[in-house]
Amino acid sequence: MSATNYDLIVIGGGPAGYAAAIRAGQLGKKVACIEMERAGGTCLNWGCIPSKALLKSAELYTKMQHAEDFGFKCDKITVDFPKVVERSRGVADQMAKGIEFLFKKNKVEHIAGQGRVEAAGMVQIMSGKREGEFLTGTNILIATGCRARMLPDLKKDGKKIMTAREILDRRDLPKSCVVLGAGAIGMEFAYFMNAFGCEVTVLEMLDNVLPVEDEEVSKFVERQFKKQGVSVMTGTKAENIKTTRKGISLEAVKGDKKQKIEADSLLVAIGVTANMEGLLSGKVKLDMDRNYIKVDDHYRTSVRGIYAAGDIIGPPWLAHVATYEAVQAVNGMFGHGEPRPMLRFPGCTYCQPQVASIGMTEKQVKEKGIAHKIGKFPFTASGKAVAALASEGFVKLITAEKDGEILGAHITGSEATELIAEYGLAMELEATWEEIHGTIHAHPTLSEALMEAAAATHGEAIHI
């Protein structure tokens, strides 16, 4: 048995884990990062990054169907679907190499394998070339994240029953697919498959797609999906799911009505569950909340010297939130300033139209009884959007009536996920609608819509 001592041992190499390891390395600490798969974790290798490569291919293919609107005449465009997938895998590979380079640059020891916390200050490597080795360290940070949640009676096989992970590596596209769940993952893959010709049906138990978003945005996106040819069934449960010789069958249940649906594949996108299996020895007892690790404002667990950050501590399950938490945890544990509380964060969905938001929805503002004003600006009134053939969507800004504070911002349309950053910075700096309106935005740009929506809260928008 060998032992090596570290200032920080990180278990998990995803957006929380690698960010924590790199930040500790920047502070001159001796760091080890243990990851079962490749550096970058699920997000980089089997989630955020490769899925965005696939979505970009789908967006470009869709745009090419309107080549004549841009003045181009070309033969029918065909799709090499395996090439589309291979490109996405290449993007993930490139980014993983980037994380491996950053580990070396910051003197982080990267260990391939599974780590188990044996006690405060001790981790055993349970798999890989260094299986059986013990590491000792002053601090341990758990960042093992989450994986897709499956229904109890279903087993994924990568063809008939899939999660997002399996579809990311399929070299063939099913002719038909039922997507179970209309959150960000379900809607992104529904858009991707539909764009390339798959017959897609989306089933969502709640009343709206993207249920965490502003209701007006959700309803707009649902209408756009239906225009694109996606069948969307909200307020609907899936029952009697079975695999058949040809694919899958289920009953879509809405109230007293049942409809049998058959398809080649089923994509399960009903949420995530924490990666806790094999993580803790029987000697380590951490306080938990619904299978997620409980932490305090410094990301400390109930056991001294053990921290946790990212998806493993519960929602929101977002890569950028995980990175923020991890950096704050490391800064705090090594006395590099007090961890800053996370007051707000952007939520992004990368289908077309894109969706991005930060702060409260209109419903939440009303439930809190806050006097407010709403400004909206449609992209149909944006010269840049019309010129780019991307005029679907709008910007919606909610401000406090009393002092003009920004309470919530909601964007749906082209590049929404890029545009939301301006409102996020504005809220961080406590800017008002007047300060957004008073900031000169270049013309013509999509970002002008943010200024116009701010002006619209008080009837001062010029172009509507």
The neighbouring-strand residues paired with 252 are 238, 259
The neighbouring-strand residues paired with 262 are 249
Task: State how beta strands 199-204 and 176-180 pair.
Answer: parallel
Q: Is the peptide bond before 444 cis (omega within 30 degrees of 0)?
A: yes
Look at residue 236 and give its three-state secondary structure: coil
- Tell me if 205 is assigned to a ligand binding site: no
The neighbouring-strand residues paired with 179 are 202, 267
- Sign of torsion over alpha carbons 124, 127, 129, 132: positive
CA separation for the pair 226, 232 (Å, rounded): 7
CA separation for the pair 57, 172 (Å, rounded): 15
CB proximity list for 296: less than 8 A, separation 6 or greater: none
- Sign of torsion over alpha carbons 328, 34, 308, 135: negative
- Tell me if 332 is assigned to a ligand binding site: no
- DSSP codes joined into one string, 160-184: SEE-HHHHTT-SS--SEEEEE--SH
Look at residue 419 and give its three-state secondary structure: helix
- Tell me if 278 is assigned to a ligand binding site: no
- Tell me if 113 is assigned to a ligand binding site: no
Enumerate the active-site residues: 443
CB proximity list for 80: less than 8 A, separation 6 or greater: none
- Tell me if 184 is assigned to a ligand binding site: yes
Residue 297 DSSP symbol: T
- Tell me if 71 is assigned to a ligand binding site: no
Task: State how beta strands 393-400 and 406-413 pair.
Answer: antiparallel
Residue 39 DSSP symbol: T
Is residue 178 within 8 A of residue 250, CB to CB? The reply is yes
Is residue 326 within 8 A of residue 315, CB to CB? The reply is no
- Chain centroid to CA 152: 24
Is residue 191 within 8 A of residue 225, CB to CB? The reply is yes
Residue 149 DSSP symbol: -
CA separation for the pair 432, 430 (Å, rounded): 7
- Tell me if 115 is assigned to a ligand binding site: yes
CA separation for the pair 9, 35 (Å, rounded): 11
- Tell me if 121 is assigned to a ligand binding site: no
- Tell me if 187 is assigned to a ligand binding site: yes
Residues of the binding site? 52, 115, 181-188, 204, 271, 311
Residues of the binding site for FAD? 52, 115, 311
Residues of the binding site for NAD(+)? 181-188, 204, 271
